[in-house]
Amino acid sequence: MERWTGSKLEKVYVKAVYTLSPYLFNFYEEYIMQNARLAEAQAGMKIARRNINNLRYADDTTLMGESKKDLKSLLMRVKEESEKAGLKLNIQRTKIMASSLITSWQIDGETMETVTDFIFLGFKITADNDCSREIKRPLLLGRNAMTNLGNILKTRDITLPTKVYSQAMVFPAVVYRCELDHKEG
């Protein structure tokens, strides 16, 4: 950005702490993804007769393909369009997960880390599609939250009305959510 001070033109940089930065990044990312033409790519996974090859939420992007070749094609499209827009794909933060064995994978001489699971939008996705651990995870998180709240409520710094409110409103909501997660799994 540039700013006119009245006598000269100054360069102004948008810092990450400004509230506009996430919006600018999302706009920029959408521009890159549109130019990568992922919607037109044949690579991806067939889900309900639709070809799905990317999932995006905020600054997280997940690319999906049925083969190593498909995935590499998608990744290279995004990488090339990012570079055209002046951004560099951070290979150190890029992870690969496959249901088949991929021991190592390189893009332009840089090795990407392979993982057996990752958290996406709060849910643990595993290469072996085992969801039993994911069913137990919210229960454990709820139990830990209840334990921590119980310890906090035992202090003398919390007023009696706050303790009563927590016992009447917060605890039942946490228990209900844990039970709901358990029944859905």
* Torsion-angle region of 175 (φ positive above 0: left; ψ -120 to 50: alpha; else: beta): alpha
Res 179: pLDDT:
64
Q: Is 74 exposed, middle or buried (0-12, 13-18, 19+ CB in 10 A)?
A: buried
> Quick one: CA dihedral 23, 27, 33, 37, positive or negative?
positive
Residue with tokens 């549109």: 34
* Torsion-angle region of 72 (φ positive above 0: left; ψ -120 to 50: alpha; else: beta): alpha
Distance CA 9, CA 80 (A): 33
152 and 158 Cβ atoms separated by less than 8 Å:
yes
Distance CA 76, CA 36 (A): 9
Q: What is the pTM of this model?
A: 0.57
158 and 170 Cβ atoms separated by less than 8 Å:
no
Res 1: pLDDT:
46
Residues of the chain with pLDDT under 50: 1-3, 12, 14
Residue with tokens 């995935």: 71
Res 183: pLDDT:
55
